[in-house]
Chains A and B, each alone.
Chain A
Amino acid sequence: MSWWDVFINELRAIFFNRSIVLTVFGGVIFYSFLYPLPYSQQVPREQKVVVVNLDESQLSRKLERMVDATPQVELSERAYSVEEAEKLFLEKRLAGILVIPENFYRDLLLGHQPTLSFAGDASYILVYSTVLEGMLGAGGTMSAEVKVTRMVMSGQAMALAAEQYSAIRLNSRPAFNETMGYVNYIVPAVFILILHQTLIIGVGLLGGGQNKKRLDGEGGYWLQASPLKLLMVRALIFAAIYWILSLYYFGFCFVYYGVPHLADAAELHLLLLPFLLSAAMLGICIGAVLPRCELATLIVLLTSMPLVFGAGFVWPTVAIPAPIATILNMVPVVPAIQGFLRLNQMGADFQAIIPLWKQLWLLAGGYGFLAWLLLHRHQALAEKQRVAKHSCEQSLSEIDNISQQLS
């Protein structure tokens, strides 16, 4: 079979297979809208908090207003005791409690240090940190105001100096995801995973389906073409399809969702190539060992969660135990997510991601070789099966002949 014949046969096998088309095109487009959906507001805002004001002074009311004015927090409820606040907190599933102590104003004037109590629901950690950010921010501003007022009232410039003396403030600034938005956080990484997973399902459905036909004794172009040709053509076709889909993600979707994209286009393409090839090769290997095509979807679906959390963008890579990290590093999506995040989100030089780039090429080569071995073996097995069937038929017809002659 010539390259061209293999190419035409492959295209037909892909585009006439409804499941493949549905998964590859339908899946990629559907996910591009579904995944960012819950995060479309980017940052949690106006989390509902209950306030207990035991002081009821003018100053404490001012503090309430300041907390309420922060974008993170909304004082939606008011309670008159801590117990009542706890009850409200549980009943209405609020995000936090703010307690302004008794004699807050008096203690401040006397120079005693009154304690503001904040509580947040830490079972939702990201919401918790948002709420605390808002409440502590307002509390800090209030403190600073009081400090200035006190200094002016006392007329002692030293008072301010003495108090500020110790505070080496921490000025924390987000380096890349400047808005600290969730879409910017989730989308760039998860989209790589979607490309990877749907690509493997697509290739796996094709390979698994052909494998089942072979086991059922059916033949086809995939048993006649040389394994190397089949392998190369299949990987290149899927890489080409996913090239277009990647452009849809990196181009249209990133712009649509306002996700920063810092990478040079040429460098992005340079990283895409080994990523798509290695994923395709892995898909061919998976397809070749499966007795039925639907198992490809099954395997990919079940491994999604470990891959999301093992890719290093949620849970730090250094915190993942070595045996698990080793296995994860053999899946193309893991180095790919790290590479694309650095290149496109963090603006790293291509030089810096060369180790990841090499790793992807190594995976492409390794899985390619494995796939070649598997396809080779399948053809040998199919040939054996054919020969056995043939000789069996021959002996059967001979027996027929003999029995006819005998009768």
Chain B
Amino acid sequence: MGRSFFSIVLREVRELAHDRWLFSLVSWIPLALFFVMFQMFSQQIPRELPLGVIDLDKSTLSRGLIRHYQVSPALEVDDHFFDMSQGAEALRNGDIYALAVIPADLSQDVMLGRPTQVTVFVNDQLLLIGKIINSSLLQAHATFTGQVEAGKNLLGSTQVIELAVSQAAPTASKVTALFNLSVNYAQFLVSAILPAIWQILMIVTTIVSLANSQRLYGGNSWLGEEVVTSLFAKFLPLSILFSLQGALFFSAMYVWQGWPMHGNWLLIFFAQLLTAWASIAAGSLFFFATRGKVETSLSLAASYAAPALAFMGVTFPVTDMTLPARIWRSFLPITHYVEVQFAQVNYGAAVESAVPQLLSLTVFAIPMILAFVLAQRSCRFVNGGAGE
């Protein structure tokens, strides 16, 4: 038994290299996908986002303010707009991401000590980009305000303005961005995108590998008498491969990119192994539930795995998701994994705190058993049919 199991495992490993498509799926495709995502976010924090400025004041003061916008690495000022309609059109057409309007009486108001404001219209259709622009502008205003104040020295003592958002006010504010000190957007997005891609890869590879055996040996004959053994022999090398892929993208983030990682590496790898088995369970259930119809099972897998990122709770907090969303979320292995990953990477949480998520991942043994039962039944049906 032990030997035959080992020989089936060997056969499965050989089969991975047999089909060109399957081989690509387990070799260069994951590498290429991970690499492209890293490249896409290689700027880490977006630079030179076009900002339109309408300067109705045209004073030394307003020009100074515009220079402060220009100094911000995130912004690229375009101040050739003469009136609102021109600027609004550029904003609508997507030529600029935001439009700042400096009022005509800015310097006068400042001289007279009247409160004054620059109105900026931010394209919040592109929410994340809007937020980047907003915080850069706030920062520019804070430093500019501080400088003007120091120059005039009206208050007698220079106020120290700690951070972007604090205004000249009786209280000062100190803002700390925990766990992502430079507010690195790439780190935030990539650390969620790569697991999502990884889950898609695992589920489709499982299905394609099952379909490959089906095509090579015809029907379910490859499962033989010992269905469970054959399936385990197939899944074992796959799970090792998937774990390697997981280790690869994880190391790429926290070793190659050098992002800070505070947690336990072994725990991460263990969670990845469980996630790999859970994804195999999902993939094989799709395959056997559709009676080995590969294109239908891939379509189901697509609707299951493609939107996973939205349910991770990284872009939008889980606490604000409705009950149906939270239920669907719990059906996705990767959401449990990402919770472990974030807790370890960011907070360096205690190993015990990952227990609920790891337990949730083991619940995917149920779809695995279900897939085994379906596989066994399909075999019996075929064998029984042949006997009659």
Residues of A within 8 A of B (CB): 18-19, 22-23, 26-27, 30-31, 34-35, 37-41, 43-45, 47-48, 90, 93, 95, 108, 111, 113-129, 132, 136, 139-140, 142-144, 146-147, 150, 161-178, 180, 182, 184-186, 188, 201, 205, 293-295, 297-298, 300-302, 304-306, 309-310, 312-316, 318-321, 324, 338, 341-342, 345-349, 352-353
- A405 → chain B, closest Cβ, in Å? 40
CB pair A165–B113 under 8 Å, yes or no, is yes
Residue of B nearest to A139 (CB): B173
A-B contact list, 21 entries, CB within 8 Å = A19-B296, A37-B311, A40-B322, A45-B320, A115-B172, A115-B173, A118-B174, A123-B180, A140-B165, A140-B167, A161-B113, A169-B141, A171-B117, A171-B119, A172-B119, A182-B127, A298-B25, A301-B200, A315-B41, A319-B47, A346-B93
Residue of A nearest to B127 (CB): A185
CB pair A176–B123 under 8 Å, yes or no, is yes
Chain B interface category by residue count:
35 or more
Q: In the assembled complex, which residues on chain A have CB atoms less than 8 Å from the CB atom of B306?
A: 301, 304
Q: In the assembled complex, which residues on chain A have CB atoms less than 8 Å from the CB atom of B138?
A: 170, 172
Instruction: Verify if B189 is at the interface (C-beta below 8 Å from A).
Output: yes
Which of B9-46 touch A at CB < 8 Å? Answer: 21, 25, 29, 33, 36-37, 39-43, 46
CB pair A293–B167 under 8 Å, yes or no, is no
Q: In the assembled complex, which residues on chain B have CB atoms less than 8 Å from the CB atom of A23?
A: 299, 302
Q: In the assembled complex, which residues on chain B have CB atoms less than 8 Å from the CB atom of A18?
A: 296
CB pair A168–B180 under 8 Å, yes or no, is no
Q: In the assembled complex, which residues on chain A have CB atoms less than 8 Å from the CB atom of B325?
A: 37-38, 40
Q: In the assembled complex, which residues on chain B have CB atoms less than 8 Å from the CB atom of A128?
A: 177, 183
CB pair B171–A125 under 8 Å, yes or no, is no
Instruction: Verify if B118 is at the interface (C-beta below 8 Å from A).
Output: yes
Q: In the assembled complex, which residues on chain B have CB atoms less than 8 Å from the CB atom of A119?
A: 175-178
Q: How far is the CA of A345 from the CA of B124 in the complex (A)?
A: 10
Instruction: Verify if B188 is at the interface (C-beta below 8 Å from A).
Output: yes
CB pair B172–A124 under 8 Å, yes or no, is no
With A37-B328, A116-B174, A301-B298 as known contacts, state yes or no: A171 contacts B120, CB within 8 Å.
yes
Q: How far is the CA of A15 from the CA of B307 in the complex (A)?
A: 26
CB pair B296–A168 under 8 Å, yes or no, is no
With A163-B168, A180-B127, A185-B125 as known contacts, state yes or no: A305 contacts B299, CB within 8 Å.
no
Q: How far is the CA of A338 from the CA of B125 in the complex (A)?
A: 11
- A205 → chain B, closest Cβ, in Å? 6
CB pair A184–B125 under 8 Å, yes or no, is yes
Q: How far is the CA of A294 from the CA of B328 in the complex (A)?
A: 26
CB pair A318–B127 under 8 Å, yes or no, is no
Q: In the assembled complex, which residues on chain A have CB atoms less than 8 Å from the CB atom of B33?
A: 302, 305-306
User: What does the 1/0 interface line of B172-205 toward A look like (CB < 8 Å)?
Assistant: 1111111111010101110101001100110010
Q: How far is the CA of A353 from the CA of B93 in the complex (A)?
A: 7
Q: In the assembled complex, which residues on chain A have CB atoms less than 8 Å from the CB atom of B110?
A: 165-166, 168
CB pair A166–B48 under 8 Å, yes or no, is no
CB pair A113–B322 under 8 Å, yes or no, is no
CB pair B116–A306 under 8 Å, yes or no, is no
Report which of B93, B134, B167, B296 forms a contact with A342, defined as CB distance below 8 A.
Answer: B93
- A270 → chain B, closest Cβ, in Å? 17
CB pair A174–B120 under 8 Å, yes or no, is no
Q: In the assembled complex, which residues on chain B have CB atoms less than 8 Å from the CB atom of A144?
A: 169
CB pair A319–B93 under 8 Å, yes or no, is no
Report which of A41, A140, A298 forms a contact with B208, defined as CB distance below 8 A.
Answer: A298
Q: Given contacts A164-B115, A172-B138, A318-B48, list 15 more A-B pairs with CB under 8 A.
A: A31-B307, A113-B172, A120-B178, A122-B188, A125-B188, A126-B127, A129-B135, A165-B152, A184-B125, A185-B124, A185-B125, A302-B33, A305-B37, A306-B33, A320-B40
- B100 → chain A, closest Cβ, in Å? 9
Q: How far is the CA of A178 from the CA of B149 in the complex (A)?
A: 34
Question: Most B CB atoms within 10 A — which of A115, A128, A165, A301?
Answer: A165
Report which of A171, A180, A205 forms a contact with B118, defined as CB distance below 8 A.
Answer: A171
Q: In the assembled complex, which residues on chain A have CB atoms less than 8 Å from the CB atom of B176?
A: 117-120
- B70 → chain A, closest Cβ, in Å? 16
Instruction: Verify if B387 is at the interface (C-beta below 8 Å from A).
Output: no
Q: How far is the CA of A122 from the CA of B191 in the complex (A)?
A: 13
Q: Quick check: which of B218-226, B229-237, B342-350 contacts chain A, the rest being far away? A: B342-350
- B333 → chain A, closest Cβ, in Å? 17
Q: In the assembled complex, which residues on chain A have CB atoms less than 8 Å from the CB atom of B298?
A: 294, 297-298, 301
Q: Quick check: which of B154-162, B269-277, B374-382 contacts chain A, the rest being far away? A: B154-162
Report which of A163, A172, A174, A313 forms a contact with B137, defined as CB distance below 8 A.
Answer: A172
Instruction: Verify if B129 is at the interface (C-beta below 8 Å from A).
Output: yes
Residue of B nearest to A20 (CB): B295
CB pair B307–A35 under 8 Å, yes or no, is yes
CB pair A315–B115 under 8 Å, yes or no, is no
Report which of B43, B91, B113 forms a contact with A319, defined as CB distance below 8 A.
Answer: B43
Residue of A nearest to B42 (CB): A321
CB pair B128–A22 under 8 Å, yes or no, is no
CB pair A34–B328 under 8 Å, yes or no, is yes
Report which of B118, B137, B170, B187 forms a contact with A147, defined as CB distance below 8 A.
Answer: B170
Q: In the assembled complex, which residues on chain B have CB atoms less than 8 Å from the CB atom of A164?
A: 113-115, 168
CB pair A34–B303 under 8 Å, yes or no, is yes
CB pair A136–B113 under 8 Å, yes or no, is no
Instruction: Verify if B97 is at the interface (C-beta below 8 Å from A).
Output: yes
Q: In the assembled complex, which residues on chain B have CB atoms less than 8 Å from the CB atom of A315?
A: 40-41, 46, 128, 185, 189
Report which of B145, B317, B342, B347 forms a contact with A166, defined as CB distance below 8 A.
Answer: B145
Instruction: Verify if B54 is at the interface (C-beta below 8 Å from A).
Output: no
Instruction: Verify if B99 is at the interface (C-beta below 8 Å from A).
Output: yes
Q: In the assembled complex, which residues on chain B have CB atoms less than 8 Å from the CB atom of A161?
A: 113
Q: How far is the CA of A123 from the CA of B310 in the complex (A)?
A: 16
CB pair A314–B179 under 8 Å, yes or no, is no
CB pair B295–A321 under 8 Å, yes or no, is no
CB pair A116–B296 under 8 Å, yes or no, is no
- A20 → chain B, closest Cβ, in Å? 9
Which of B325-343 touch A at CB < 8 Å? Answer: 325, 328-329, 342-343
